[in-house]
Structure 1
Amino acid sequence: MSQPPLRFPRPVRPGDRIGVTSPSAGVADAAATRIDFCVEWLRARGYDVVVGDCMDGAGLTSAPARERAAELTRMLADPDIRCVLPPWGGETAIDLVDLVDWERLADADPTWLVGFSDLSTVLVPVTTRLGWASIHGDNLADTPYAVPDGLLHWLDLVGGEGPFVQRGSGLVTDWWRFEEDPRATEWKRVGTGEWELEGGGDLDVTGRLIGGCVETIVNLAGTPYGDVRAWAETFDEPTIVYVEACEEHAVNICRYLHGMRLAGWFDRAAAVLVGSTVAPDHRDLTQRGAVLDALGRLGLPIVWDLEIGHVPPHLPLVNGALAHVVVDGEVREITQTLA
């Protein structure tokens, strides 16, 4: 399959159809109440939401891999569906990447795929293999949460032409448990935080965005579904790689990042963006130390504690967008251009 040119899906506006399917974990028990609320939240804003068959939360995944891959392919190829969104992540979306009908999708108009966590496993090949821009942002369960000052909602990105300017929110938040409030729309505020440039100083850099959750995207490194080195070589600009850790301790994160480095993920990088994390340190290695052990030898600028992962709120990033990142004095800013 030859490398296609980068394509940006058309804007998604009220009245357009959004497809919901679970490429990884499904929905059960108290979580179902939350997802029903989120679907109605989107419908109340004018979107035509259709929910697929692969949503069962009784097991590890929502359905057998072939069924999940077929439903995801069908929704992404359907010209009436303008955006596809999972309820949340999960554990083993890796089992469907070679079952997706990539040839069928290559002949279809691009559709927005939005989400994070285990969905990173699908977002990366959608961009690097298929050539469609995709969005690392809120899953459906997070979508109703109000966006703090400085950030944008993923609906703003899929619904606009750009450029999209976002600034550090200065916040650290958390989710409300579904049992506490399945209709929550305001993040639980737990602290403050700020982007920080490793070693201090200023940064002004531009590149194509690519990245995701370390624990999931590492499994794509060195395969046809995560050949970032080859993808990056198709552009005149360098890349900006973003990574975030969910829950693995620092030693494993260190190993994973070394594996990604050896597979060429950072060969054309101009900078690395690292999301805030509550993943545990090892007694002899911190999470920051893990990143520095694996990537410090590259001499790349590293920006810490962006709102791009499992510590909300969420700063949505467009895989494939041309991003301009500035860390200078009081300025903490990223501008994404869909071109």
Structure 2
Amino acid sequence: MIMYPFLEKGTTIGVTAPSSGVKPDLHVLIKQSCERMQLRGFDIRCGDTIWTQDKAKSASIKKRADEFNEMMADENIGLVFPPWGGELLIEILAGINFINIRNKWVLGYSDTSVLLLAITLKTGLATAHGTNLIDLRGEYSDETTAMWEKVLSTKQGESVLQHSSSKHQEKWQHDHPTPCVFHLSEPTIWKSISNKKVEMEGRLIGGCIDVIRHLIGTPVGDVRSFRTKYINDDPILWYFENCEMTTTDLRRSLVQMKLAGWFENCAGIMFGRSAANTPVDNYTVEDVYQDLSKELQIPIVYDIDCGHVPPQMTFINGSYAEVIVEEGKGTVREYFI
């Protein structure tokens, strides 16, 4: 059975950097983000790791793992919220105390999704794939991003409905800040391989495919055991996003997942928008999706609100989701059961 945390009003948010920290010239961003959370009524507790960054990580493996473990063990902290992702979070997994993890939310995406997926697969604790803390530093958030708080405040046994965004950001423009951080200018269109209405349901799990693929074959990447131990062999509904990979690297990763059994009893796959997906020898990302759909005989939808091309929905690893995609729009209803 999946355990679902509940976000209490006024809870303390623990800010730690299990992957990348924030360099001095960008400290203003983390301070702005924390101030916004305080204005929303949350208390903030910042760890030491968020203020440093060198050699592609915030701190030593031990310091990052210890600080995360401490925040997860602290009964006064209701949400652990990294500033953003990074590159080398996987280094700390061996030091995570999975046995003593308390029932609280961990929220983020990018490299953080390694930790999110590992926690859910290993313990059955729901985790939240959604906005980074840094992305909440604006005067307000767009409707899609802002749903993180409502989703995390859903009670066990209840459900929450999210709609696809109306517009998304084509590219980052850090030198031209906006009141809501993002520059949402391009129409959002959810697509399907079949070009027909798609309805699918199952247990949501996923993340940034660049990094979660490295969990395959590890003690914290056992999808088969997760299915039998925590979700009674319910079908799985995967969601992925590609940060930096070419189409052939994406294809290799998906084939490896298939060979590892990750797609057994799979109800469908959703792929987020990506600025990567670079074609190789005329092999496009649409070709990748077509090949995978034919092999697995499942529906595949893509260009959804997930990942490094914001905004993005808040997907709860472990929740039971009903997804409908039709005429370029999508809805996701997540049941906390």
Q: TM-score, normalised to structure 1's length?
A: 0.91
> Could you tell me which residue of structure 2 aligns to residue 324 of structure 1?
322
Please tell me the residue identity of whatever aligns with 2:103.
Answer: P
Match of 1:113 among 102, 106, 117: 106
Match of 2:115 among 114, 119, 122: 122
Deviations 1:81-117 (A, max 9, x none): 0000111110011101111112222xxx311000000
Distance 1:143 1:97, change over 3 A: same
Distance 1:151 1:116, change over 3 A: closer
Trace 1:44-59 onto structure 2 (pairs within 5 A): 44-55=39-50, 56-59=52-55
Q: Secondary structure at the match of 2:324?
A: strand
1:249 matched to 2:242? The reply is: no
CA shift for structure 1 position 134: 0.4
> Could you tell me which residue of structure 2 aligns to residue 263 of structure 1?
260
Which whole-Å CA distance do the structure 2 matches of 1:199 and 1:67 have between them? Answer: 48
CA shift for structure 1 position 276: 0.6
Please tell me the residue identity of whatever aligns with 1:115.
Answer: G
CA shift for structure 1 position 224: 1.3
Tell me if the contact between 1:34 and 1:178 (Cα under 8 Å) persists in the aligned partners. no
1:89 matched to 2:85? The reply is: yes
Which whole-Å CA distance do the structure 1 matches of 2:293 and 2:170 have between them? Answer: 29
Q: Secondary structure at the match of 1:102?
A: coil
Tell me if the contact between 2:191 and 2:328 (Cα under 8 Å) persists in the aligned partners. no
> Could you tell me which residue of structure 1 aligns to residue 274 of structure 2?
277
CA shift for structure 1 position 252: 0.9
Which whole-Å CA distance do the structure 2 matches of 1:241 and 1:160 have between them? Answer: 21
Tell me if the contact between 1:176 and 1:184 (Cα under 8 Å) persists in the aligned partners. no
Which whole-Å CA distance do the structure 1 matches of 2:293 and 2:70 have between them? Answer: 39
Trace 1:132-151 onto structure 2 (pairs within 5 A): 132-144=125-137, 146-149=140-143
Q: Secondary structure at the match of 1:39?
A: helix
> Could you tell me which residue of structure 2 aligns to residue 200 of structure 1?
195
Q: Secondary structure at the match of 2:111?
A: helix
Deviations 1:20-78 (A, max 9, x none): 00000110144211111001110111100110011212331011111101111111121
Identity %: 31
Which whole-Å CA distance do the structure 2 matches of 1:290 and 1:61 have between them? Answer: 32
Tell me if the contact between 2:13 and 2:45 (Cα under 8 Å) persists in the aligned partners. yes
Deviations 1:111-132 (A, max 9, x none): 1000000001100011010111
Deviations 1:183-210 (A, max 9, x none): 7424212311211121122222221100
CA shift for structure 1 position 251: 1.1
Tell me if the contact between 1:229 and 1:265 (Cα under 8 Å) persists in the aligned partners. yes
1:26 matched to 2:24? The reply is: no
Which is further off, 301-310 or 255-264?
255-264
Match of 2:154 among 152, 157, 160: 160
> Could you tell me which residue of structure 1 aligns to residue 298 of structure 2?
300
Please tell me the residue identity of whatever aligns with 1:211.
Answer: G
Please tell me the residue identity of whatever aligns with 1:262.
Answer: L
Q: RMSD value over aligned CA atoms?
A: 1.9
Which is further off, 90-99 or 171-180?
171-180
CA shift for structure 1 position 296: 3.4
Which whole-Å CA distance do the structure 1 matches of 2:218 and 2:2 have between them? Answer: 20
Trace 1:6-45 onto structure 2 (pairs within 5 A): 6-13=2-9, 15-45=10-40
Number of aligned residues? 330
Trace 1:208-247 onto structure 2 (pairs within 5 A): 208-234=203-229, 235-236=231-232, 237-247=234-244
> Could you tell me which residue of structure 1 aligns to residue 313 of structure 2?
315
Gaps in structure 1 of 5+ consecutive residues: none
Which whole-Å CA distance do the structure 2 matches of 1:92 and 1:332 have between them? Answer: 33
Distance 1:96 1:295, change over 3 A: farther
Please tell me the residue identity of whatever aligns with 1:40.
Answer: E
Tell me if the contact between 1:73 and 1:101 (Cα under 8 Å) persists in the aligned partners. yes
Distance 1:176 1:288, change over 3 A: closer
